[in-house]
Amino acid sequence: MTTREPGQTRSDRSPWNWLLVLPIVLPLLTFLFNADEPRLLGFPLFYWLQIAFIAVGVACTTIVYRMTR
């Protein structure tokens, strides 16, 4: 936690925040994943790619958290 001097205002603005757009937009683009092939470990693309987006979400939010701390 950062301490702040009296009178100095903290801001949530940061260019890193733009990274949050990626995990919001990707899962909404159905044309990216609405297919059966290629399968991965038996999972159709539809399922494994959307599960992979979870990792994208974690990565992006973690980076933004670290960089704006």
The residues binding other proteins (CB under 8 A) are 1-4, 9-12, 17, 20-24, 27-28, 30, 34-36, 39, 41-44, 46-47, 50-51, 53-54, 56-58, 60-62, 64-65, 68-69
8 A C-beta contact, residue 49 and residue 33? yes
DSSP 10: P
CB of 15 to other proteins, least distance (A): 13
Residue 40's SS3 state is strand
CB of 17 to other proteins, least distance (A): 6
| C-alpha–C-alpha distance, residues 8 and 41, integer Å | 54
CB of 69 to other proteins, least distance (A): 7
